[in-house]
Structure 1
Amino acid sequence: MKLGLQLGYWGAGPPSNAAELVAVAEESGFDAVFAAEAWGSDAFTPLAWWGSGTRRVRLGTSVVQMSARTPAACAMHALTLDHLSGGRFVLGLGVSGPQVVEGWYGRPFAKPLARTREYVSIVRQVLAREAPVANDGPHHPLPYRGPGALGLGKPLKPITHPLRADLPIWLGAEGPRNVALAAEVADGWLAIYYAPRLAGMYDEWLGEGFAKAGRGRDGFEVAATCQVVVTDDPVAVRTTLKPFVALYAGGMGAPGMNFHAEVFTRMGYGEAVADVGRLFRAGRKDEAAQAVPDELVAEISIVGTAGQVREEVRRWEEAGVTTLLVGCRDGASIKAVAEACQ
């Protein structure tokens, strides 16, 4: 099992000890460091800044939001960071949700699967640099010929030669069709909430995509976000995780279209998810956190003694996960996780 340090996205300001965490993660044998974005800090800049002090770990985004930048602009970020890191960059992409896409980026959210397919195709064209980049699809037409166009655009190749044509592209996906798409067009799946109990269901979704692409699972990575905590008091730790679950189940998405809530519902917690959402939207966030079932938190995290963590990590690996993306607040926690997972 590989480990990735999840730096996430910033709150009101940048974290004070991120550089230390990245250094300790590399020293402790972590395979990668990932950064995310929501509607504040971006995911590329922290990797360039803090990643400049690393020599071995992969640097990845989990995820950059596709509506935040055009496919060509995203490919420029990717090829630049790949050069600067000596071929260690992983491009993790995600569609986000309608509240962010339409409310923050001012872009339409409709047809996310078709948009993703076009987006990945254009990024791959840029990285391949075999021909001028063009796309006939309706979502990202290149050259642009729509309203306001002067008609002077022409297909272009990137000036900079990408370091790797096969730079890995992973998709953040939660629903069955999106997970299948990741298996079809990407090199990995970023699972924000994963439950080993449902590995058979995930395998069916992935299998559909592999079959459509005419390939097997070899080389495909499954990176699951998972809080891994070595402790003698798992009950207390799981209690501290409940507010984050409540936020994603109740506050990260529109009523009636919250993809995170749908994930928890598929796990069998539909009634509890409805209660969490109702309480969260009413501003009763503490009560929403208390309504999160203990069993749900236990399914999506690995918390316990070093021996218990080691056993659980083995179970997640057997369920198909190749990388655990863990969030740690200090160097001691990183070292404890690394030692337990050896």
Structure 2
Amino acid sequence: MALKLNLMAGYWSSHPPQNMVAMAQLAERLGCHGFFTAEAYGSDALTPLAWVGAQTERIKLGTAIAQISARTPTSLAMHAITLDHLSNGRVILGLGVSGPQVVEGWYGRPFAKPLARTRAYIDIIRQVLARDEPVEHQSEHYTLPYPADAPGSWGLGKPLKSIVHPLRSDLPIFLGAEGPKNVKMATEICDGWFPLYFSPTGPKVYAEQTANLKPGFEIFCPVRIAITDDIEGALARVKENLALYVGGMGARDRNFHNDLVARMGYADAAAKIQDLYLDGKRREAVAAVPDSLADEISLIGPPERIRDRLAAWEESPVTGLMVWAADERELTQMAELVVGR
């Protein structure tokens, strides 16, 4: 199956990217499917989409991801409805729980029970989008309306419908997920899934979750594409990212990315990477990342090597690639390889 190509702008580093709009416009001309943004604890994921959406016509506008602790579910539903109207139905609402360090450290919210919290969050958004009845929800995570007998309540809350009629009641909702239960939930209640790492040639880590996907379900996977003869040098950059996530993104006993790499068949390497990284030996941690792992989850090499390796991705459950491009030349080369197949 032909893969959809999506340009990933990510969240900003210390400053806004200078070529964001130009790259989105080029992606649209090249036939790319979507333009996606993210957020961590700096730039938000929604404002750049409004900016880009005003200066493009067709390309989808997606969050990958919007953090559910950053906004109440009704607030994010309002953002999605507004942007979907302004963009004439181009929004893909990608959600995720982020991690405990961000949720508890930046948003000051508890991270406990992320799956149940996600399910409740999506239920409320679906109610807002459907606009069949006033929104009501009772769970340990969200209560709408706010109870009259709760601390600080004035007792005046009542169920409400969105004033604005959503352009699409079926606006697509994707979920960023890694754990088997979270991925299974994504396939059940969402329209798409963002893996973090996916190997089309290694152990079928998500075989059970992807065995019977509903029609139209999308899997958009972030993939580092590097068109180069210097395979070793390009793999080194992938390994740097892997070392950061597998070694440093989380506590020693709670790192979802480390757990995933272990399930992918690299348990010993994952443990070694984490030990080195948390001991401050970051160069050694990068060196401990197996070349084979970095190669499995990326598309690196001369054009002919990438074309050959794309076949495995096309035969996998993945329906789209999410890529980063440094400049217009690099994005054009990627589109020629993926969209032009």
* TM-score > 0.5 by shorter chain: yes
Task: Report the Cα offset of residue 20 of structure 1.
Answer: 2.0
Decide whether the 8 Å contact of 1:307 with 1:340 is kept in 2: no
Q: 1:213 aligns to what?
A: none
Decide whether the 8 Å contact of 2:210 with 2:317 is kept in 1: no
Q: Which runs of 5+ in 1 are unaligned?
A: 211-215
Normalised TM-score (structure 2) = 0.95
Structure 2: which amino acid aligns with 1:88?
Answer: R
Task: Report the Cα offset of residue 140 of structure 1.
Answer: 1.0
* Residue among 40, 43, 51 paired with 1:41: 43
Decide whether the 8 Å contact of 2:219 with 2:317 is kept in 1: yes
User: After the TM superposition, which of the residue ranges 97-106 and 172-181 deviates more from structure 2?
Assistant: 97-106
| Structure 1 residues 1-342: aligned runs within 5 Å | 1-145=3-147, 146-198=150-202, 200-207=204-211, 216-341=213-338, 342=340
Structure 1: which amino acid aligns with 2:163?
Answer: I
Q: Report SS of the residue matched to 1:90.
A: strand
Structure 2: which amino acid aligns with 1:176?
Answer: P
Structure 2: which amino acid aligns with 1:118?
Answer: A
Structure 2: which amino acid aligns with 1:175?
Answer: G
Structure 2: which amino acid aligns with 1:69?
Answer: R
Partner Cα distance (1:126, 1:151) in 2: 22
Task: Report the Cα offset of residue 198 of structure 1.
Answer: 5.0
| Partner deviation per Cα, 1:109-156 (whole Å, 9 max, x = no partner) | 111111111100100111111111110112111011233222211111
Task: Report the Cα offset of residue 183 of structure 1.
Answer: 0.6
Structure 2: which amino acid aligns with 1:307?
Answer: E
RMSD over aligned Cα atoms: 1.4
Decide whether the 8 Å contact of 1:98 with 1:254 is kept in 2: no
| Partner deviation per Cα, 1:51-95 (whole Å, 9 max, x = no partner) | 321111101001111111100001011111111111000000001
Decide whether the 8 Å contact of 1:63 with 1:94 is kept in 2: yes
Structure 1: which amino acid aligns with 2:235?
Answer: R
Decide whether the 8 Å contact of 1:252 with 1:260 is kept in 2: yes
Decide whether the 8 Å contact of 1:233 with 1:304 is kept in 2: yes
Structure 2: which amino acid aligns with 1:284?
Answer: K
Normalised TM-score (structure 1) = 0.94
Decide whether the 8 Å contact of 2:203 with 2:264 is kept in 1: no
Decide whether the 8 Å contact of 2:205 with 2:264 is kept in 1: no
Percent of counterpart pairs with the same letter? 52
| Partner deviation per Cα, 1:160-203 (whole Å, 9 max, x = no partner) | 11110000000001010000000110000111111113574413
Partner Cα distance (1:14, 1:187) in 2: 30
Structure with a larger share of its residues in helix: 1
Decide whether the 8 Å contact of 1:230 with 1:304 is kept in 2: yes
| Partner deviation per Cα, 1:201-235 (whole Å, 9 max, x = no partner) | 4131234xx6xxxxx52110011011112222222
Q: What is the total number of aligned residue pairs between the two structures?
A: 335
Structure 2: which amino acid aligns with 1:108?
Answer: P
User: After the TM superposition, which of the residue ranges 79-88 and 308-317 deviates more from structure 2?
Assistant: 308-317
Q: Report SS of the residue matched to 2:210.
A: helix
Partner Cα distance (1:125, 1:84) in 2: 21
Partner Cα distance (1:297, 1:332) in 2: 24
Partner Cα distance (1:272, 1:85) in 2: 45
